[in-house]
């Protein structure tokens, strides 16, 4: 609990080529020249719908949105810690369901993608309840399910949401025997490949809740570091303490208190 208290106090103190999908009305990020911009020749590019993102509390797609400051702050803190330790894979989990970890993972990945020296990849490893694709409104003709079954290659299942420096690996359907899959050599090799392919890439894995199944525990040793999302008023102290007991081998980079009332903020020089 002491780690949670300290995290909360710190938070209070810091206030092959595929054609682009152009059929939907989309929330386009500003089309300005970007340092280190990436051209996606082999990854499917899909534009996202602004109203769909808004309904699902995805606020970091447009980097000029005033609602994205909290995720920009979180991004800076996370990247500083990861750079200090040479970490490039980050698992995001929570003690129990409905804490908002997937929304945090998506917004953090988008905020990192806006960072001019990094690229980000977001992977849906909540295999019993995959939600990233649905939250973003991705078509998902191919997904992690097809990669697992051998019906697709990695390049076939990756999606760029028309946002420079961000790639998503979605999971469309729940996966049977998910704990065994996550602890398998195939998944271990995939994590290593995603981590080592690009030195500037930060790979974020949306993991299952810690106390619901053993899925997250099975894959935690493969992550460089862990970010835990705790929903305000939705976890008991005992659940938080039990979750922390499952993280001795992992590097807990920090804790996010989610679903708390935000205090009004003013900006001045």
86 in the Ramachandran plot: left (φ > 0), alpha (ψ -120 to 50) or beta?
A: left
d(CA 2, CA 92): 20
- Both structure tokens of 143: 């997904």
pLDDT means per 10 residues in the chain (269 residues)?
A: 48 38 38 47 88 94 86 95 96 94 97 90 97 96 95 95 94 97 97 94 97 94 95 87 85 87 47
Give the model confidence (pLDDT) of 139-159 as tens digits. Answer: 999 999 999 999 999 999 999
What predicted TM-score, i.e. pTM, was given to this entire model? Answer: 0.82
Please state the φ and ψ torsions of residue 21, each to the nearest 5 degrees: -80, 110
- Output the CATH code of domain 2-28+41-258: 3.40.50.300
Question: Angle at which helices 101-114 and 69-85 pack, to 10 degrees?
Answer: 80
pLDDT reported for residue 41:
66
Please state the φ and ψ torsions of residue 171, each to the nearest 5 degrees: -120, 125
pLDDT reported for residue 250:
74
């Amino acid at each position: 609990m002491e780690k949670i208290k300290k995290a909360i106090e710190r938070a209070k103190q810091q206030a092959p080529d595929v054609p682009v999908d152009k059929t939907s009305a989309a929330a386009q990020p500003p089309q300005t020249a970007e340092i280190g911009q990436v051209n996606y020749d082999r990854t499917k590019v899909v534009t996202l719908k602004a109203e769909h993102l808004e309904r699902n509390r995805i606020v970091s797609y447009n980097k000029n949105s005033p609602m994205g400051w909290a995720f920009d702050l979180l991004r800076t803190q996370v990247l500083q810690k990861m750079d200090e330790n040479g970490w490039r894979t980050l698992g995001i989990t929570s003690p129990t369901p409905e804490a908002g970890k997937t929304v945090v993972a998506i917004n953090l990945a988008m905020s990192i993608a806006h960072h001019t020296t990094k690229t980000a990849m977001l992977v849906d490893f909540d295999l019993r309840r995959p939600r990233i694709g649905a939250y973003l409104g991705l078509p998902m003709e191919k997904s992690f399910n097809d990669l697992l079954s051998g019906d697709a290659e990695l390049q076939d299942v990756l999606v760029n949401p028309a946002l420079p420096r961000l790639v998503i690996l979605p999971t469309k359907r729940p996966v049977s025997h998910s704990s065994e899959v996550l602890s398998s050599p195939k998944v271990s090799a995939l994590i290593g490949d995603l981590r080592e392919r690009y030195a500037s890439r930060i790979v974020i894995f949306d993991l299952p809740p810690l106390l619901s199944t053993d899925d997250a525990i099975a894959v935690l040793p493969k992550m460089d570091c862990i970010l835990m999302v705790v929903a305000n008023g939705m976890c008991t102290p005992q659940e938080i303490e039990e979750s922390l007991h499952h993280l001795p081998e992992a590097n807990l980079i920090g804790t996010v208190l989610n679903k708390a009332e935000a205090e009004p903020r003013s900006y001045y020089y």
